[in-house]
Structure 1
């Protein structure tokens, strides 16, 4: 049993009280002593080096100076009020300025006293100045948790700073909390794991992370807590998988039957790639085990995931079961429906489409045919999981772009049959290996890493605004060859009105440059009704229009092999993943295709990296790795559904090796002691009682 000290409300901590406790809860989610001591620094400052005033320049980072206070005064009134101090050392003078917390700082200042000041130096009229520096009285004595060699820096907010809870203020609270409860922290990792990976005790690791006495001590503490955090994530996920394989029985698909075989031999319009064959074989093996399949299929845009899904759904139909495919948008669901209908003859297998726009009479027919078993395959949006939708015998469910569905939405699909259906999750968003292990660690993973034969790599070019006429000329060349063009505008500040205005400006420009009757334009955006979107889409699909001006609603689910050019306006505003998805709308036919990234002249460093990456490579997994490095795991799509990405200390961009070792260790534990009967694993039993991930303290009862 863990100590109750760590569960003590933070209001009782010395230096907090009710008001500060409330703001700590609201701003950064700290409720208890335990929450506070796992609020880790995001960087450290080397406080061992002092600069002389004459040595400093504007290019230096944050630095500290030992000075004597010469004068200070309050200048101005109300909004212009500020505290200005002059400080000197034996080489020069520096001005210190505070615009907030003036009363508190003023009480701390004393003429002719020596102070250590720390901050970022700027120069005003040639004179060194430091705004809102940290300041403390200089003392030759060693202060245990004050003027540290490696000073922790904590994230704060403007509201916290109003309560003097900047990084320095949080550091003081941290010292008080650790004094009160560090001795109560108990171990979670079994002793044999600590020994194998040279990890230190938890209480020592947490203490040393906040107040390290050396760089080496800090590195060991970080390594210990990173391993523990990633271990616990993998432990929960793999235990969940173990429980699922033991608890949830699955229907057995014994036969490779008539429909699967006939489709493969007579209807399939192209040869499967070796990667597609391998994934179908893996699914086939899963469906013969008698346990529910949960498999993720990753495949880059255009790799042929939909055909794999269709063939495995036919496998279910051959064994007397129904199948469904759930997509996140009506556009994508409709596209899947038309694609599958195009591959199947009308009398080969019964298939229907159900979305929020389906008419009442069509819904009634679908509902009846689902319940009596006449309908074999249902394609649709989240409308599939609504209560009126009842299957006679759902045996196989495909979820496309699953990161767009909530956990509860997916769970509803499971409950559509007495024996849960086999689940195939598909994503065209390439996920770095480290992120896949964290987001989908409880799933079996298949990879379609080949493109169909005959596909030519898309040529990507980056053009600036002053090269727009060159872009127009290239569009006209391609249209003259009988090709079609997409032009995509960004969603600005998630505002439909702004987005629509931006797009309509583009329509005006295109209409002037590409006038009737020689050219025709389709327009698709989020403000259109489903029927209007479908009408515009079909005009483009049929070749009645040569140009589609659209927002990102066409990011997934549009398949027009004749479209050979994708133009992305303000491309610097898009993330790498979205740019790659949009590019994947072309390159679906045998002809050479192109992606043109239009941007302004001024680009941020990250914006330039994104556009350069797109020009350099078509490899979705390489792009995903760079995206992870640029954005961090917290911003990768799907994070909000996973509940796993609120990492306190581990960083998936740099801690791949730790993650791999942690996962390997968890697998070994479950192989040797699946029920955790070993006394050394008893604490891990308590971990299972909590649904949260991250560093576990005494929150486990």
Structure 2
């Protein structure tokens, strides 16, 4: 079937693909990609283009320069390589232009694709750098695109598509051109309002399809890609704006501040002044809580900025207004830490019904899965009766047995550890929709916040509380013996001064990584951009090092420390997620009380753990962790006014690509700067959460970091449409596009907020 034979007005996006490109081509595309209709194929965008430029004749090829030629395959052979594994494909081509018929050799290492696509008589465009081998000029592993004939070598960029092993780029390109022949404004109406396209200077839909698949110049393809990226940004922002509008329309019980209540009494007893950032974010949250619609706010702040205090003040405001608050934490260690810090901060205000309790006091309870049945029953009764004002817990808070007297506020700590179903389960325990505050210690750049958390209002807590000491961070090259020795000497010196030390490793045993009982799909300890172990990043680098420290295990590191003469008399403890709950609690209590000098731990201490006497942290094999995780970890020291030091120990040599993460962390204590650097180094799927959910990539062409201008523009346009006359329903084609686009994968992505 030829492109010119296709009826330009006979098919649209939903036309069966086989009717347009033929049965054989359809079968291959369907098997390779699952495509069934024309629109699916035309959304299979090129991932790059071969620029033709000025064609060069073989006889005049300049040595060492990049060239583009159109040539005909004369011979193609293959042979096994002698010095390495694999196959070498040799292609000899002759000039398709001019009378000289000069020949040129090309080589492809393991060129299985070239064997399938290049045959004697095939005409193709080849691009590559001219080199010399045995007195002959050649191109090594050039890029190429198969042409119908030399006459097809028009000066247009040639698209290169994502392909499969059995479906060559040339076959995809031919099918796309056939499908493209039926694309016009009449058969492919644009769902985007014409005024919006004019204002944003965007191509129309039909023109964008033509330009991305068959551009006259590369800039045409770039304009088309910008249009399709804007489409994704606008559809996403419209879906988010609708959710935001829906939540704004839900009723909630107002929880305004009350004069003479717990919050006023708590503030009056504080031994320090709130930071300007705490006052500002506190005022935003207080205003939301006093409203008649449910608060849905994200509180982000750097490590140690005092988010828990801001959340506690919000909880007290809700209790003063007759409600209860629930604080959901991802681990039992963190839940226990929150309980202790809250009860310590409240003092008599947390001792309702107890000797010495304030007359206006409330009660703070802990609910975890490891509690005894009798203890759990006591807590459940107090929460159900309203005696408990604040309940802190892990996934036990999601139990069907837990009922509240009047749940007014849900606080979620480290929100990325929980799925929306779990948060909704807790919300459903309230009669009216409760207010929601989610917290994160990983700063989020504005464009990511608009995309991933677009239906939440964002409060950014800036500044550090008074008394928080600076933390010096250094990279320690373990391959150098003197640095290894000094690492342990520093630990001993801190203990000798009466201080305590964290030693963080990435594995519990040789076969077990951290597993702290988090929810299915929760991030693993080194999930946020960390390099995988083994290969160049891990065991390969360490394997060459003499007398290396046992790698990545709590057991081996603790045993090594206990066996060192240098550490005689030093008390070493172990903490990880696979310990029984009572053992974890006992270990943390011993460390807080100073009965453990060096705590060897996995990342279970990453967030929330607050031991003021801990002044030194050594992260062993620090290259196994990502930037944001290292920043979180070092925030565990320097919390009590004492100077803190974090040592990032690695076997990797200076200049290794994975050292860049460690150098970035050592160079700055600015969490927002590190968040930007982290996102630059991570894949888009990791940013959006698809890698952790196991789902396919949610966004097809939109890039969250690079397309900041498009996302901001799309958010502005989406809000104007949803809040405008008739809302989104006033734009039926666009409304239908949103509903079609928000499939199961996108819905799961949207629910992350």
Q: Give CA-to-partner distance per residue, 1:236-273, whole Å, 9 cap, x none.
A: 1112111111134344435244211111112x343211
Aligned equivalent of 2:476, options 448, 463, 478: 463
Supply the distance in 1 between the matched residues of 2:440 and 2:146 (Cα, whole angstroms).
Answer: 54
Which residue of the partner structure matches residue 472 of structure 1? Answer: 488
Higher RCO (C-alpha 8 Å, min separation 6): 1
Supply the distance in 1 between the matched residues of 2:513 and 2:438 (Cα, whole angstroms).
Answer: 34
Structure 1 residue 47 corresponds to structure 2 residue 52? yes
Which residue of the partner structure matches residue 105 of structure 2? Answer: 94
Which residues in structure 2 correspond to 1:95-134 (within 5 Å)?
95-97=106-108, 99-100=111-112, 104-105=116-117, 108-110=119-121, 115-118=124-127, 128=138, 130-131=140-141, 134=144
- Contact 2:552–2:621 (CA under 8 A) maintained in structure 1: no
Deviation of 1:552 after TM superposition, in Å, equals 1.6
Deviation of 1:394 after TM superposition, in Å, equals 0.5
Aligned equivalent of 2:628, options 577, 582, 592: 577
1:397 is paired with a residue whose SS is strand
Supply the distance in 1 between the matched residues of 2:506 and 2:132 (Cα, whole angstroms).
Answer: 39
2:455 is paired with a residue whose SS is coil
2:152 is paired with a residue whose SS is coil
Which residue of the partner structure matches residue 664 of structure 1? Answer: 716
- Contact 1:324–1:397 (CA under 8 A) maintained in structure 2: yes
Supply the distance in 1 between the matched residues of 2:362 and 2:423 (Cα, whole angstroms).
Answer: 26
Deviation of 1:219 after TM superposition, in Å, equals 2.7
- Contact 2:318–2:409 (CA under 8 A) maintained in structure 1: yes
Which residue of the partner structure matches residue 152 of structure 1? Answer: 159
Q: 1:138 to 1:418 in 2, by over 3 A?
A: closer
Which residues in structure 2 correspond to 1:227-306 (within 5 Å)?
227-253=230-256, 255-266=258-269, 268-306=270-308
Supply the distance in 1 between the matched residues of 2:745 and 2:553 (Cα, whole angstroms).
Answer: 45
Supply the distance in 2 between the matched residues of 1:247 and 1:23 (Cα, whole angstroms).
Answer: 46
Supply the distance in 2 between the matched residues of 1:493 and 1:648 (Cα, whole angstroms).
Answer: 39
Q: 1:373 to 1:209 in 2, by over 3 A?
A: same
Which residue of the partner structure matches residue 31 of structure 2? Answer: 22
- Contact 1:38–1:695 (CA under 8 A) maintained in structure 2: no
CA RMSD after TM alignment? 3.4
Supply the distance in 2 between the matched residues of 1:476 and 1:109 (Cα, whole angstroms).
Answer: 73
Supply the distance in 2 between the matched residues of 1:443 and 1:636 (Cα, whole angstroms).
Answer: 17
- Contact 1:403–1:637 (CA under 8 A) maintained in structure 2: no
1:597 is paired with a residue whose SS is strand
- Contact 2:257–2:317 (CA under 8 A) maintained in structure 1: no
Deviation of 1:380 after TM superposition, in Å, equals 0.6
Unpaired runs of at least 5, structure 2: 1-9, 352-356, 515-532, 534-550, 747-753
2:151 is paired with a residue whose SS is coil
Q: 1:68 to 1:674 in 2, by over 3 A?
A: closer
Q: Give CA-to-partner distance per residue, 1:558-585, whole Å, 9 cap, x none.
A: 1111111121122222211111111111
Supply the distance in 2 between the matched residues of 1:484 and 1:22 (Cα, whole angstroms).
Answer: 60
Supply the distance in 2 between the matched residues of 1:493 and 1:649 (Cα, whole angstroms).
Answer: 41
Deviation of 1:587 after TM superposition, in Å, equals 2.1
Aligned equivalent of 2:664, options 606, 609, 613: 613
Which residues in structure 2 correspond to 1:592-607 (within 5 Å)?
592-602=643-653, 606-607=657-658
Supply the distance in 1 between the matched residues of 2:372 and 2:133 (Cα, whole angstroms).
Answer: 69
Supply the distance in 1 between the matched residues of 2:510 and 2:407 (Cα, whole angstroms).
Answer: 38
Deviation of 1:40 after TM superposition, in Å, equals 2.3
- Contact 1:356–1:383 (CA under 8 A) maintained in structure 2: yes
- Contact 2:506–2:513 (CA under 8 A) maintained in structure 1: no
Deviation of 1:654 after TM superposition, in Å, equals 1.7
Q: 1:509 to 1:382 in 2, by over 3 A?
A: same
Supply the distance in 1 between the matched residues of 2:513 and 2:310 (Cα, whole angstroms).
Answer: 39
- Contact 1:565–1:594 (CA under 8 A) maintained in structure 2: yes
Structure 1 residue 380 corresponds to structure 2 residue 393? yes
Which residues in structure 2 correspond to 1:205-224 (within 5 Å)?
205-224=208-227
- Contact 2:471–2:638 (CA under 8 A) maintained in structure 1: yes
TM-score by length of 1: 0.87
Which residue of the partner structure matches residue 194 of structure 2? Answer: 191
Q: 1:124 to 1:581 in 2, by over 3 A?
A: farther
Deviation of 1:424 after TM superposition, in Å, equals 0.7
Q: 1:166 to 1:574 in 2, by over 3 A?
A: farther
